[in-house]
């Protein structure tokens, strides 16, 4: 599944689950950006791992996607 091919208006729960949780493995390579999808538990579970990977130099950028008061917002650190 390619993110660029998804129709956001027709995105199913199954597609979202597959996109976020299927075939996840760490190849221990460097990436362009550490992307953290927000959730009610992201600060507890996802953010610490993202910070750990960033501090290891696994990417020069990180992006946290969150929803604030019903409006989408994001924060991106551009460089180390």
Instruction: Specify the pLDDT at position 58.
Output: 95
Q: Is the predicted pLDDT of residue 55 greater than 90, yes or no?
A: yes
Which position has the higher pLDDT, 62 or 38? 62
Instruction: Specify the pLDDT at position 71.
Output: 60
pLDDT band of residue 67 (cuts 50, 70, 90) is low
Number of residues that this document lists for the chain: 80
Q: Rounded to an integer, what is the distance from CA 7 to the centroid of its chain?
A: 19
Q: What is the mean pLDDT of residues 19-33?
A: 83
Q: What is the mean pLDDT of residues 28-45?
A: 84
For 54-61, which contacts have Cβ atoms below 8 Å and span 24 or more sequence positions? 54/80, 57/30, 58/30, 58/31, 58/34, 59/30, 59/31, 59/32, 59/33, 59/34, 60/32, 60/33, 61/32, 61/33, 61/34
């Amino acid at each position: 599944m390619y993110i660029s091919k998804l129709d956001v208006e027709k995105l199913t729960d199954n597609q979202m689950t597959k996109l976020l949780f299927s075939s996840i493995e760490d190849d221990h390579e460097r990436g362009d950006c550490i992307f953290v999808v927000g959730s009610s538990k992201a600060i507890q579970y996802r953010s610490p791992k993202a910070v750990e990977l960033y501090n290891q130099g696994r990417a020069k950028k990180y992006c946290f996607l969150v929803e604030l008061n019903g409006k989408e917002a994001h924060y991106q650190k551009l460089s180390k």
